[in-house]
Structure 1
Amino acid sequence: MADDVMTTDQVAQGAPVRASAKRGARGGGARRPVPRVPDHEVIIVGAGISGMGLAIELRKAGIESFQLLERADDVGGTWRDNRYPGIAVDITSFTYSFSFEQNPDWSRVFAPGTELQRYAQRVAAKYGVYPKVRFRTEVDKAVFLEDRDLWEVQLKGGERLYSRFLIGATGGLISPKKPDIKGLESFKGTVMHTGYWDDSIDLTGKRVAVIGTGATAVQLVPSIATKVAQLDVYQRTPIWVLKKPDAEIPTWLKSAFRTLPVLQKGVRVCTDVLSEALMVGAVIYYRQIPGLVRWAESAGKNNLLEQVPNDPELRAKLTPSYGFGCKRPTFSNDYFRTFTRDNVELVTDPIECVTERGIRTREGTEREIDVLITATGYRVFEKGNLPAFEVHGRDGRELGQFWDENRYQAYEAVSVPKVPNYFGMLGPYGLTGTSYFKMVEANAIHAVRCIKEARRRRMTRVEIGQGPHERYFLDVQRRQQSTVFVNHSCASSNSYYFDKHGDAPMLRPSTTMEMLWRAQHFPMEHYRFSRAGAAPEVGSQGRAAVAAA
């Protein structure tokens, strides 16, 4: 046996990869031979919330042979990367957290982003995720080796790792979208995207422009308006903004949560129900209960009227022309009011170009600035972002290309035919409206059920059948006919919910309860299980069948 090949027992028990294997072909050396057994039974790409959730579910199932590959130097994903002023959750913290790991110490009902990052770090430490993460490691490509039922994971720099199963857990908000504006490179001042916030830039007394008025800008604009000399906010599409029922959580209540965890679970149930009604009932079941959307639109207009009572022209500019839910709505008690400040201007005239000194609009006005902030969101369901690296399955199927050419589709948002032993944590029609954490928990259950079943059957390949996949996608499309996206004037929303095909593959057209139930009960017969030629079987102690032919 070669020095860089571990035994089946070592892999099944989660033994670390030998140093020679970890070096691989890094630095341009000779390509490492394909080993007889993989380095890990499972490789997870990404150590954000979804990667951590999958790792925890694997450990719960007794599966220890896995490794997370993370391009950055810490866990947390979006909450690690985003540090712009005012960042906070826009779903209550009681709901926006793992169901099995509630945090009694949130400072507010809607916690600031720094607390979410600390929460992620604490969860990673408590559940033993950190030792399983290989940081500063970026995946370039993954190729399924059909003759051995192995994934060859190619890293930037040339190294190759091998696993039986591959999990894509890179999240959706990882690729900031640069605005396509003429002259942007010519600007002589400071330019930064909210996704790459530079803490060293002091905005005090500066002339600042913000391009974009989505959920990020709603948090950012009020946070910087009080310190800058002048703030110009360039709006293409207004956003629905509801009142934010936010408040500090008193010390006595935190103590009660710690003493009686059931109390916090009760609060979570209440916030779950409210979030589900607004984000699922109103958006997903619009045709059945259109009154919820009408109520939300009325609440948004009332919020605008309360904050801007004396300027009907400004209110008109800030009022969306599309239906509530077509574009991601958000919550704020001071965003609209910010535009009544003397040093803040809402600019709705389209941008013609960026100049060396500022921004010129089509009407010919040039506003000079010192700092240009692009709050222009992220690439989401676009080739190159989901998946974030090339995923080559069998028979020449590359996942990103397949989705780009054939519409975004996946069985239960997790699996795609001809891409065996691969599970995506954020897939088409996968995100429930209430909380990203709920989707993570459901999809982790789904993936681990498949891996456990492969172990039980002593099989080395798991692949969703074409028939179940197609039937599921047809059902999703049928359900989409009841949503806001199909029925409620979304054409002018400029929403990242929609992809190049005109579909809205972000939100799952079902309740959260149904999503979790299906993850736990989908028929295992929908998957096909097979075995590579000479792979050893599972032993009496339930070790993984990880050896390849």
Structure 2
Amino acid sequence: MADGSPKKSTASSRSKARSGTDLDLVDIEHRVPSRRKGKPDYEVIIVGAGFAGMGAAIELQKNGIDSFVLLERAKDVGGTWRDNRYPGIAVDISSFVYSFSFEQNPNWSRVFAPGDELQRYAQRVAAKYGIYPKTRFGVDVLKSVFDEDLHLWQVHLKDGSMLTSRFIISASGGLIAPKKPDIQGLDTFKGRVIHTGYWDDHYDFTGKRVAVIGTGATAVQMVPELARKVSQLDVYQRTPIWVLKKPDAEIPGWMKSTFRAMPLAQRAVRFVADALTESLMVGAVLYNRQIPGLVRWAESGGKNNLLEQIPNDPELREKLTPKYGFGCKRPTFSNEYFKTYTRDNVELVTDPIECITEDGVRTRDGKERKIDVLITATGYKVFEKGNLPSFEVHGRGGLELGQFWEDQRYQAYEGTTIPNFPNYFGMLGPYALTGSSYFKMVENHSVHAVRCIKQAHKTGSTCVEIRQGPHERYFTDIQRRQQRTVFVNHSCSGSNSYYFDRHGDAPMLRPSTSVEAQWRAKHSPMSHYHFTRAEALASTEA
């Protein structure tokens, strides 16, 4: 692991509201305000219309800030849940927790809802809160450049046009850039190659010989579904995954009716589910040094799940047992994944891959397995340059955010703001994600950003920038807290986890409880920020 001290920077359509999945979207017509010197097209530009972007937009509206636009590269809202459609996709956090606190859904079909229900939920939220008319679909952001004289962000689009805004909220998400496996011969394969992030809904797998590369959380959901259709399924495992029993069940009609009639009942269920999730994810992973027994308990649960599903094959169980600590790599839940490897048409391959041939996959032991389809379940780029953020962000002195993080380690005050990048708020930033739900991070960062924007309005400021001192103290505290997590204390070196970046840091999860994160979002001192007004605006306002 790298040391815990922070490093300073050297430059220190019109749309139809949707009630289901089969309503067509048409292009939105936008009338951008006339551009005057110092007057932005929008007060706020939000990049991305997944749950993070929608959460930010809703918080802006709630606080009377209506001059904003969402820029979305795809043709609908939903982000990850719009793009991922592989067989078996579902949430791996309870549905009761995985939703906006202010817009809970009483109609989930299961405790762990399938992916299409999450997408429909996104569409309903977008329709109810007026997100569709505020969104420009099919728009790709190339880069954003901060104008230091006018305190504006110039947002350059890939079609050659440009928009300006006072503030940017980057909500482009973390799981948007599928990672292609670096395997010799991949481009020579004559069959079909499908990445789980670019699923082909129309391809018929019935009777096909299929290889899956990767055994992360996606494969855990997908492999049992594929095994029922294909003639042969070869699953290539580099690193096994911790899999706990899935406390899933169909939600009965009477419970849904109760939730609709008595929202307080659903909030109570959410509270209990949240507390259980927080205890496991935060207690075991982030407080590993203080509560080591909780990790051992989780590992015992994973091994028991494996034993129950594969009682008669100790050699197979050994191959599927992780050699790293629980929490080093994203764990998941399944009651079917392990037992799938006992089927006659499924083989777990742990020999390293030598190359992809024209007809199949050859491992280093010299064996070649013929296939018709190659599925790469190899995950996404996460904390890597070019992904977070997904577009270039040039702050003061031309300093580029992705390069700054690449050189100086991933760091951001409260996971959202960075010195030398004024008026910029990241939704999924370093050490931002709280353990129990992505939605908590979204709501917290939305509140934090809007507090800053409102304070700027109140003081007549055009520039909001986190001070270097509070930022450095915060990052130092984060690194101190990391020393008690599973990432430092529990043999993570062999996990091949996307939690870790090139610096050896684990900037995905925030080392704190979600209660603390929420309190700080609402109460962190505004005195930690510089609030200034552009001198260049004085002459235009005289």
TM-score by length of 2: 0.93
- The alpha-carbon deviation at position 535 of structure 1 amounts to 3.9
CA deviations 1:471-492 (Å, max 9, x no partner) are: 0000000000000000000000
- The corresponding residue for 1:478 is 480
- The corresponding residue for 2:244 is 242
* Aligned counterpart in structure 2 of residue 366 of structure 1, from 348, 356, 368: 368
CA deviations 1:140-178 (Å, max 9, x no partner) are: 000000000000000001100000000100010000000
Preserved contact between residue 148 and residue 548 of structure 1 (Cα < 8 Å): no
> Matched residues in 1 for 2:38 and 2:351: separation?
63
* Aligned counterpart in structure 1 of residue 194 of structure 2, from 187, 192, 195: 192
Q: What's the secondary structure of 1:233's corresponding residue?
A: strand
> What is the 5 A alignment of 1:43-192?
43-192=45-194
- The corresponding residue for 2:219 is 217
* Residue type of the alignment partner of 2:300: S
CA deviations 1:314-336 (Å, max 9, x no partner) are: 00000000000000000000000
The 1:263–1:20 alpha-carbon spacing in structure 2 relative to 1, beyond 3 Å, is closer
Q: What's the secondary structure of 1:107's corresponding residue?
A: coil
CA deviations 1:320-376 (Å, max 9, x no partner) are: 000000000000000000000000000000000000000000000000000000000
Gaps of 5+ in 2: 1-28
- The alpha-carbon deviation at position 35 of structure 1 amounts to 4.2
Q: What's the secondary structure of 2:398's corresponding residue?
A: coil
- The alpha-carbon deviation at position 536 of structure 1 amounts to 7.6
> Matched residues in 2 for 1:101 and 1:20: separation?
32
- The alpha-carbon deviation at position 255 of structure 1 amounts to 0.2
* Residue type of the alignment partner of 2:532: S
- The corresponding residue for 1:311 is 313
> What is the 5 A alignment of 1:417-428?
417-428=419-430
- The corresponding residue for 1:414 is 416
The 1:238–1:34 alpha-carbon spacing in structure 2 relative to 1, beyond 3 Å, is farther
- The corresponding residue for 1:206 is 208
- The corresponding residue for 2:24 is none
- The corresponding residue for 2:278 is 276
CA deviations 1:446-492 (Å, max 9, x no partner) are: 00000000000010000000000000000000000000000000000
* Residue type of the alignment partner of 2:409: R
Segments ≥4 residues shifted beyond 6 Å: none
* Aligned counterpart in structure 1 of residue 31 of structure 2, from 12, 18, 42: 18
> Matched residues in 2 for 1:40 and 1:280: separation?
39
Matched, 1:42 2:47: no
> Matched residues in 2 for 1:498 and 1:548: separation?
49
- The corresponding residue for 2:5 is none
- The corresponding residue for 2:532 is 530
CA deviations 1:39-89 (Å, max 9, x no partner) are: 100000000010000000000101000000000000000000000000000
Preserved contact between residue 149 and residue 548 of structure 1 (Cα < 8 Å): no
> Matched residues in 1 for 2:442 and 2:295: separation?
27
> Matched residues in 1 for 2:473 and 2:249: separation?
45
> Matched residues in 2 for 1:535 and 1:34: separation?
11
> Matched residues in 2 for 1:158 and 1:58: separation?
28
> Matched residues in 2 for 1:475 and 1:430: separation?
14
> Matched residues in 1 for 2:98 and 2:308: separation?
28
- The alpha-carbon deviation at position 212 of structure 1 amounts to 0.1
- The alpha-carbon deviation at position 19 of structure 1 amounts to 5.9
* Residue type of the alignment partner of 1:106: W
* Aligned counterpart in structure 1 of residue 268 of structure 2, from 266, 269, 275: 266
> Matched residues in 2 for 1:433 and 1:515: separation?
11
Identity among equivalent positions (%) equals 74
> What is the 5 A alignment of 1:311-460?
311-460=313-462
> Matched residues in 2 for 1:40 and 1:241: separation?
46
> What is the 5 A alignment of 1:450-529?
450-529=452-531
- The corresponding residue for 1:252 is 254
- The alpha-carbon deviation at position 533 of structure 1 amounts to 2.0
> Matched residues in 1 for 2:225 and 2:511: separation?
35
- The alpha-carbon deviation at position 397 of structure 1 amounts to 1.3
Preserved contact between residue 534 and residue 548 of structure 1 (Cα < 8 Å): no
Pairwise CA RMSD: 1.4
In terms of mean alpha carbon deviation, does 34-43 or 164-173 score higher? 34-43
TM-score by length of 1: 0.92
> Matched residues in 2 for 1:39 and 1:548: separation?
17
> Matched residues in 1 for 2:37 and 2:311: separation?
70
CA deviations 1:249-305 (Å, max 9, x no partner) are: 001110000000000000000000000011111000000001110000000000000
- The corresponding residue for 1:5 is none
The 1:531–1:17 alpha-carbon spacing in structure 2 relative to 1, beyond 3 Å, is farther
> Matched residues in 2 for 1:265 and 1:271: separation?
10
Q: What's the secondary structure of 1:295's corresponding residue?
A: helix
> Matched residues in 2 for 1:93 and 1:61: separation?
28
